[in-house]
Structure 1
Amino acid sequence: MDIPSFLGSIPPWLVYALVGLVVGVESIGIPLPGETILVASTLLSLHPDANINPWIIAACATTGAVIGDSIGYTVGRTYGTRLLTWLTRRFPRHISPAHIKYAEHVFDRWGTWTVFFGRFVAGLRILAGPLAGTLRIEYRRFLLANVTGGIFWAFGTVGFIVLVGDAAHHYLKEFAWVGFLAVLVLALAAGGLLHKRVKEGVARFAAEEPTEAQEPERA
């Protein structure tokens, strides 16, 4: 069963809880499809029989993002690079030493702005909290970027989908599915472009710093 079908088979309150949980666990540093479940649940909410409020979905995603990132920050600050080493061993397909070194480079260059904009990029979204804690970014600055990034990401994503869905329903009537298809195509295209840019950045940084990018430091 795929994610949309699964979400459609459970009660609305469980959809809200699942969105917050998945986004939160992803933000701690565990690779999960947080953005996918946010988009899928929002699309589901546009169905007239779903009885799901898209803005509650956005609020749950924001809450999960803020809490998850804060937990990730605390764990990273407590356990340091041992956590990052464990993540690379446990999830080698999603988090590699090169990814971590590239994220550290981005943090060095952009500071807490990395936390804000990292919310919109899958690889940085997973690493932002733990890495900010490991690098001992001041928590107040981290929290401000964390909260604002979570709000803009969750409500921006939901708002865009609702806007396109409402426009499709208004102008296309019975062909509202065209609007949903457009959202999916745009989301996939944007996600693919961001993933490609991050992948290229990781590869370029690893080539420039071959020794450092092999393995994260051990605490």
Structure 2
Amino acid sequence: MLNVIINHLLIFSGWSALALVFLLPALESSVFLGFVVPGETAVVVGGFLAYEHRVSLPGVLAAAILGAIVGDSIGFWVGGRWGDSLLARLPKRLVKPEHVEQGKQTIHRLGGRAVFSGRWVSVLRALVPGLCGTSRMKYGTFLLWNAIGGVTWATAYILVGYLAGSAWQRVEHYTSVVSYSLLGAIAAAIAAVVLVRRRRQRARDRETLQEMAVDEAEAGPAEPGGAVPAPSSASRSSEV
């Protein structure tokens, strides 16, 4: 499928090519197309088309940037409306429930920085906008970081295709490798943070149990049968 899309991109020029450069990044996160076709492929090809003067460089930059920002905004809205139900229907081999939960916790912790970071990793690019909507992030915060990420990401990949020229296919392969390497590094970092937190929680639980045991030992053993001690003679005489 990826080769078919690339071949279609390569034979188009002008407005038809710009439309595809806009649509593929837009569809990547709005309908989870990024699991099948990474948006940076279309953007790199768009840079190559600008190199061949089949589209203008400013035009393809605008198309890629708008596609990234609009697509993520749609993904954010869809996530806020139907996020949990849609994520539950995705194949478990692609999106595991525990990964979704970890993603939500990461978004709560990092805020807008998660939006910017997710823009640079193909799998996260398809997930992060929806997770932000599901996590009820403020749209103003999301839009700011979405715009920053969309502008820098689209500009970088357009220039990669433009400057690489006829060698764009080799460069595009390397960008995919880098993208998945970043995903692996992020996953490893999240796993390390989760492991450290679990160990700290277990240590706190052990300390709490030890403190409870010390308190019980200092309180002394309870009387058998829970019998109430008999009142003293002093107390009996005061009652008379």
Give the alignment's TM-score, normalised by structure 1: 0.74
- Name the CA distance, whole Å, in 1 between partners of 2:94 and 2:76: 19
Rg bigger for which structure?
Answer: 2
One of 51, 57, 61 as aligned partner of 1:58: 61
| Percentage of identical aligned residues | 31
Tell me the amino acid that sits aligned with residue 12 of structure 2. Answer: I
Answer with 147-156 or 20-29: which moved more.
20-29
Change (3 A) 1:105 1:27: same
Partner residue, 2:132:
132
Q: CA deviation at 1:54?
A: 3.3
- Name the CA distance, whole Å, in 1 between partners of 2:98 and 2:17: 35
Q: CA deviation at 1:12?
A: 2.5
**Counterpart check, 1:70 vs 2:58:** no
1:8-64 alpha-carbon deviations (Å, 9 max, x no partner): 22343111111211111112141332111111232233235xx12233222112111
- For residues 21-100 of structure 1, the aligned pairs below 5 Å read 21-32=23-34, 33=37, 34-48=39-53, 51-86=54-89, 88-89=90-91, 92-100=92-100
Q: CA deviation at 1:143?
A: 0.8
- Name the CA distance, whole Å, in 1 between partners of 2:194 and 2:33: 22
Give the paired residue count.
Answer: 193
- Does the CA-based 8 Å contact 1:112-1:141 persist in structure 2? yes
Q: CA deviation at 1:202?
A: 6.6
- Name the CA distance, whole Å, in 1 between partners of 2:22 and 2:152: 16
SS in 2 for 1:52: coil
Partner residue, 1:213:
none
Partner residue, 1:13:
15
One of 159, 172, 196 as aligned partner of 1:184: 172
Change (3 A) 1:11 1:185: closer
- For residues 163-174 of structure 1, the aligned pairs below 5 Å read 163-165=163-165
Change (3 A) 1:194 1:3: same
- For residues 156-167 of structure 1, the aligned pairs below 5 Å read 156-165=156-165
Aligned-pair Cα RMSD in Å: 2.8
Which sections of structure 2, spanning at least 5 residues, go unmatched? 199-240
- Does the CA-based 8 Å contact 1:29-1:129 persist in structure 2? no
- Does the CA-based 8 Å contact 1:26-1:68 persist in structure 2? yes
- Name the CA distance, whole Å, in 1 between partners of 2:182 and 2:164: 21
- Does the CA-based 8 Å contact 1:103-1:124 persist in structure 2? no
Tell me the amino acid that sits aligned with residue 55 of structure 1. Answer: P
SS in 1 for 2:33: coil
Partner residue, 1:114:
114
Change (3 A) 1:61 1:93: farther
- Name the CA distance, whole Å, in 1 between partners of 2:133 and 2:155: 26
- Does the CA-based 8 Å contact 2:48-2:164 persist in structure 1? no
**Counterpart check, 1:195 vs 2:195:** no
Partner residue, 1:169:
none
Partner residue, 1:170:
none
Change (3 A) 1:122 1:78: same
SS in 2 for 1:143: helix
Change (3 A) 1:79 1:8: closer
- Does the CA-based 8 Å contact 1:27-1:126 persist in structure 2? yes
Give the alignment's TM-score, normalised by structure 2: 0.69
- Name the CA distance, whole Å, in 2 between partners of 1:93 and 1:20: 29
- Name the CA distance, whole Å, in 2 between partners of 1:31 and 1:205: 29
Change (3 A) 1:8 1:132: same
- Name the CA distance, whole Å, in 2 between partners of 1:9 and 1:160: 20
- Name the CA distance, whole Å, in 2 between partners of 1:185 and 1:8: 16
Q: CA deviation at 1:205?
A: 7.4
Answer with 38-47 or 69-78: which moved more.
38-47
